[in-house]
């Protein structure tokens, strides 16, 4: 909602306001940038001092390795090192078999490109980048007319450079972690809830909104929730806990957006509104306290005063969002029970759950392979090996091309121009000729890395610009253990970068691209249908746990994609812009409720896995199945409406819930074990939440 308030301004003013908000400091931003700069600088100094080539690889890894938690850093670093060695062994071993057969060699390269992009789509990016970077650099090695010993030696130097980057980053992060105690998921949520609490407290107590409170809420709203979502994805928490906290993160982000809008709209609550605000603030503080103390937040229902007949719409949105945050934990018994379930360790895997089921992975790999193959054939047909950075650019930009868009292409070109021409070649003309020691180059390197890192810590709408600046500058100045002052070499590398970006733009945006608004709509529709399919799963289906995990991961990935596309829609212009922005606004309002519905549905589906209640009570099982079938039908009906299709579904959803409620109440009135009655009451409460959320969504859609 914050972004929408500035969309109507003229483009230059909107752009300046956007950059001002994106580049503003926020809590721990300077600390994160300092850690990135220190680690990258140490890698550069070590490689230069000990004459280690391909230092740009180690420096790039410094920017890619996970920094969310010490555990994530260790796991990421260890996996990357292992896959680096495996990748080098794969390339050297397989290349030896095909290097003397040109046609087979060419087909092997194309197949390797496909494998690299498939890995990007099906493996976590931090890990997949290992294989990708090795392919990006080693494939051009094999085309050089040099002895095989030289190619092998350069490959080993590359592995050594990457190892230095991994070791330095891991050591730096573990050293800093000692001074950064606390949960990296709960603490950021608590900070954001506290910021909202402080702002709403001003309105509740009839005080002018505090400037510091406004700034904190605005900064958090602009930053978004991508960092917390990424930390959740890479954490070692159980799938159940990650799904629950993912719902909380989405709702807290929504709460921040609404709160950040209040000062801009000159929100002036009435006396009855202020009474409600005090209740809301008490609920926010209670949720925050419960989360900090590892307790399940209590269910919240706001009962307005009799005089409070027509509440302000914004206040109503705040109340609904706070209520949904508590509902996310419905049916849970303890947070600690789900945080690190030993049984969930068996579910940790290298590939995502839908790696071989989701056709999107195959489509992405084919498009990426096509782009890299075009670049490879262009620079070989022109006998211009200096622009082999085009292949490197294709593979590295693939790290952020999943859900590619015009916005990311703009960031890539802008980053290449700034990092390659302005900072890279500009420093070669005006700075490097006057430096005679590594000390001077270190100052330049720190400046460029700090500049790039500050942009990398922006929201996803701008962060890739920073990475592209760093990649372009490093490719020019960190290939050899010397300051590169040859403009022809720099020119070739920058031309290669631009060629790679042009081909990626052509393949991903022009040939098979789709407007971000349409992609956002279809992804949201896909989630509605997936949750409907999840509801249709038999209560006693075989291998149900694995199916739930597959659905959970696919739907969660789609939620992230919708958020990403929502950010991108702002940057797309044309005759349908206003309509697309309205669609964006509606989907952003619907998605937190749909996420809460998913969490509640998963909690309901877990009951038969944990308790054999339904096996003994056939009437409850039948009523529950009817409820699930009607839920699936109404979700499919909503999906059809969002997709612009007619819906012929007859709605018997409310009647099926009434039938389930009567059946459960009848069972609970009979004599029997109290534990069975308790579980039946839990099932009824979860089903009631599902019914309420579904009818609310259905009414709006």
Q: What is the pLDDT of residues 172-217, one digit of tens each?
A: 888 876 665 556 778 888 889 999 999 999 888 888 888 888 888 8
Q: Which of 59-63, 396-400, 549-553 bottoms out in mean pLDDT, i.e. has the lowest? A: 396-400
The per-residue pLDDT for range 429-451, each reduced to its tens digit, is 899 888 888 899 999 999 999 99
The per-residue pLDDT for range 360-388, each reduced to its tens digit, is 788 888 988 999 999 999 999 998 988 88
Q: What is the model's pLDDT at position 347?
A: 43
Q: Which residues pair with 123 in a beta bridge?
A: 351
Q: What is the model's pLDDT at position 166?
A: 87
Separation of alpha carbons 410 and 508, rounded Å: 13
Q: What is the model's pLDDT at position 525?
A: 93
Of all helices (H) and strands (E), which one includes residue 544? helix 544-569
CATH of the domain at 635: 1.20.58
Given a cut of 80, is residue 14 above it in pLDDT?
A: no
Q: Are residues 189 and 296 in the same domain?
A: yes
Q: Identify how many contiguous H helices and E strands the chain contains and give both numbers.
A: 28, 0
Separation of alpha carbons 223 and 227, rounded Å: 9
Q: Are residues 588 and 541 in the same domain?
A: yes
Residue 1 pLDDT grade (very low, low, confident, very high; cuts 50, 70, 90): very low
Task: Using alpha carbons, select from 197, 190, 153 the residue that is nearest to residue 52.
Answer: 153
Q: Are residues 341 and 477 in the same domain?
A: no
Span 6-15, average pLDDT: 58
The tokens for 597 are: 């519905």
Q: Which domain holds residue 74?
A: 3-180+352-511
Q: How many structural domains are present in the chain?
A: 3
Q: Are residues 311 and 198 in the same domain?
A: yes
Q: Which of 511, 527, 556 is the last residue of a domain?
A: 511
Q: What is the model's pLDDT at position 570?
A: 75
Q: Are residues 158 and 225 in the same domain?
A: no
Measure the CA dihedral 167/173/177/180, to 10°. Answer: 180
Q: Which residues pair with 351 in a beta bridge?
A: 123
Cα-flanking dihedrals φ and ψ of residue 123, to 5°? -120, 150
Span 151-164, average pLDDT: 88
* 3-class state of residue 356 by DSSP: coil
Span 148-177, average pLDDT: 86
Residue 58 pLDDT grade (very low, low, confident, very high; cuts 50, 70, 90): confident
Whether the CB-CB separation of 239 and 552 falls below 8 Å is answered with yes
Burial 354-382 (b: 16+ CB within 10 A, else e): bbeebebbeebbebbbbbbbbbbebbeee
Q: Are residues 504 and 639 in the same domain?
A: no
Span 46-52, average pLDDT: 90
The per-residue pLDDT for range 515-533, each reduced to its tens digit, is 778 888 999 999 999 999 8
Q: What is the model's pLDDT at position 442?
A: 94
Span 254-283, average pLDDT: 85
Q: What is the model's pLDDT at position 69?
A: 65
Whether the CB-CB separation of 367 and 528 falls below 8 Å is answered with no
Q: Which residues contact 32 (CB under 8 A, 6 or more apart)?
A: 67, 453, 457
Q: Which of 493, 511, 529 is the last residue of a domain?
A: 511
Separation of alpha carbons 291 and 31, rounded Å: 25
Span 48-67, average pLDDT: 83
Q: Are residues 407 and 467 in the same domain?
A: yes
Q: Are residues 190 and 304 in the same domain?
A: yes
Of all helices (H) and strands (E), which one includes residue 363? helix 359-381
Separation of alpha carbons 171 and 177, rounded Å: 10
Whether the CB-CB separation of 691 and 654 falls below 8 Å is answered with yes
Cα-flanking dihedrals φ and ψ of residue 306, to 5°? -60, -35
The per-residue pLDDT for range 313-361, each reduced to its tens digit, is 778 888 888 888 888 876 565 555 555 544 444 444 567 666 777 787 8
Given a cut of 50, is residue 392 above it in pLDDT?
A: yes
Between 517 and 647, name the one with better pLDDT: 517
Given a cut of 90, is residue 38 above it in pLDDT?
A: yes
Q: What is the model's pLDDT at position 291?
A: 84
Q: Which of 146-160, 258-272, 339-353, 481-495 bottoms out in mean pLDDT, i.e. has the lowest? A: 339-353
Separation of alpha carbons 70 and 392, rounded Å: 30
Q: Are residues 548 and 646 in the same domain?
A: yes
Q: Which of 8-17, 71-80, 401-410, 594-603 bottoms out in mean pLDDT, i.e. has the lowest? A: 401-410
**C-alpha distances out from residue 324 to 131, 249, 297, 484, 690, Å:** 41, 12, 11, 57, 11
Half-sphere exposure of 78 (CA within 13 A, CB side): 6
Q: Are residues 135 and 192 in the same domain?
A: no
Q: What is the model's pLDDT at position 307?
A: 52
Whether the CB-CB separation of 122 and 361 falls below 8 Å is answered with yes
Q: Are residues 292 and 398 in the same domain?
A: no
Q: Which of 511, 539, 566 is the last residue of a domain?
A: 511
Q: What is the model's pLDDT at position 342?
A: 46
* 3-class state of residue 582 by DSSP: helix
Given a cut of 50, is residue 8 above it in pLDDT?
A: no
Question: Helices (DSSP H) in 123-185: which residue ranges?
Answer: 125-142, 148-177
The tokens for 258 are: 């609404």
Q: Are residues 357 and 463 in the same domain?
A: yes
Percent of the chain with pLDDT over 70: 82
Q: What is the model's pLDDT at position 454?
A: 93
């Amino acid at each position: 909602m914050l972004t929408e308030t500035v969309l109507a301004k003229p483009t230059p003013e909107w752009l300046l306001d956007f950059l001002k908000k994106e580049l503003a400091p926020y809590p721990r931003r300077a600390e994160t940038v300092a850690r990135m700069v220190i680690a990258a600088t140490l890698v550069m100094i070590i490689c230069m001092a000990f004459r280690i080539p391909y230092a740009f690889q180690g420096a790039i890894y410094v920017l890619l390795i996970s920094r969310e938690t010490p555990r994530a850093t260790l796991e990421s670093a260890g996996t990357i090192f292992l896959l680096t060695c495996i990748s080098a062994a794969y390339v050297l071993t397989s290349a030896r078999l095909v290097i003397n057969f040109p046609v087979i060699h060419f087909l092997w390269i194309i197949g390797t490109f496909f494998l690299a992009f498939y890995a990007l789509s099906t493996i976590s990016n931090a890990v997949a980048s290992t294989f990708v970077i090795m392919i990006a650099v080693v494939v051009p090695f094999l085309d050089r007319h040099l002895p095989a010993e030289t190619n092998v030696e350069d490959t080993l130097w590359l592995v050594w450079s990457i190892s230095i980057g991994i070791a330095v980053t891991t050591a730096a992060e573990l050293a800093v972690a000692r001074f950064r105690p606390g949960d990296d998921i709960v603490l950021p949520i608590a900070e954001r809830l506290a910021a909202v609490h402080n702002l709403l407290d001003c309105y509740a107590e009839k005080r002018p909104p505090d400037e510091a409170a406004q700034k904190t809420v605005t900064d958090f709203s602009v930053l978004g929730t991508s960092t917390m979502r990424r930390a959740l994805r890479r954490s070692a928490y159980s799938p159940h806990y990650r799904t629950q906290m993912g719902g909380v993160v989405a709702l807290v982000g929504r709460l921040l957006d609404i709160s950040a809008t209040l000062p801009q709209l000159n929100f002036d609550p009435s006396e009855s509104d202020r009474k409600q605000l005090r209740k809301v603030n008490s609920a926010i503080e209670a949720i925050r306290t419960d989360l900090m103390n590892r307790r399940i937040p209590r269910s919240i229902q706001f009962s307005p005063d009799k005089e409070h007949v027509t509440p302000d719409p914004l206040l109503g949105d705040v109340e609904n969002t706070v209520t949904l945050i508590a509902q996310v934990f419905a049916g849970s018994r303890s947070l600690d029970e789900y945080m690190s379930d030993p049984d969930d360790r068996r579910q940790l895997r290298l590939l995502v759950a839908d790696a071989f089921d989701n056709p999107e992975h195959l489509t992405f790999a084919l498009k990426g392979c096509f782009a890299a193959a075009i670049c490879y054939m262009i620079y070989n047909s022109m006998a211009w090996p200096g622009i082999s950075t085009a292949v490197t650019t294709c593979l590295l930009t693939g790290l952020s091309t999943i859900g590619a868009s015009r916005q990311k292409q703009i960031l890539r070109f802008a980053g290449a121009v700034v990092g390659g021409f302005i900072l890279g070649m500009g420093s070669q003309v005006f700075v490097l000729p006057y430096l005679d020691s590594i000390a001077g180059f270190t100052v330049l390197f720190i400046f460029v890395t700090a500049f790039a890192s500050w942009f990398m810590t922006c929201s996803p709408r701008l962060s890739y610009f920073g990475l592209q600046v760093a990649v372009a500058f490093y490719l020019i100045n960190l290939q050899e253990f010397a300051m590169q002052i040859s403009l022809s070499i720099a020119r070739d590398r920058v031309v290669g970068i631009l060629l790679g970006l042009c081909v990626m733009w052509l393949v991903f945006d022009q040939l098979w691209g789709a407007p971000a608004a349409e992609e956002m709509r279809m992804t949201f529709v896909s989630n509605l249908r997936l949750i409907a399919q999840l509801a249709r799963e038999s209560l006693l289906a075989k291998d149900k746990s694995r199916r739930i995990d597959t659905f959970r991961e696919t739907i969660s990935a789609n939620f992230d994609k919708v958020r990403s596309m929502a950010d991108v829609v702002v940057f797309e212009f044309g005759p349908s812009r206003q309509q697309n922005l309205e669609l964006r606004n509606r989907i952003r309002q619907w998605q937190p409720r749909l996420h809460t519905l998913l969490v509640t549905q998963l909690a309901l589906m877990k009951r038969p896995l944990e308790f054999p209640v339904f096996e003994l009570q056939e009437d409850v099982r039948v009523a529950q199945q009817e409820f699930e079938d009607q839920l699936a039908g109404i979700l499919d009906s909503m999906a059809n409406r969002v997709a612009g299709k007619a819906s012929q579904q007859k709605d018997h959803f409310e009647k099926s819930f009434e039938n389930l409620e009567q059946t459960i109440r009848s069972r609970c009135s009979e004599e029997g074990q109290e534990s069975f009655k308790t579980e039946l009451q839990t099932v009824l409460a979860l089903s009631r939440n599902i019914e309420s959320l579904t009818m609310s969504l259905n009414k709006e859609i």
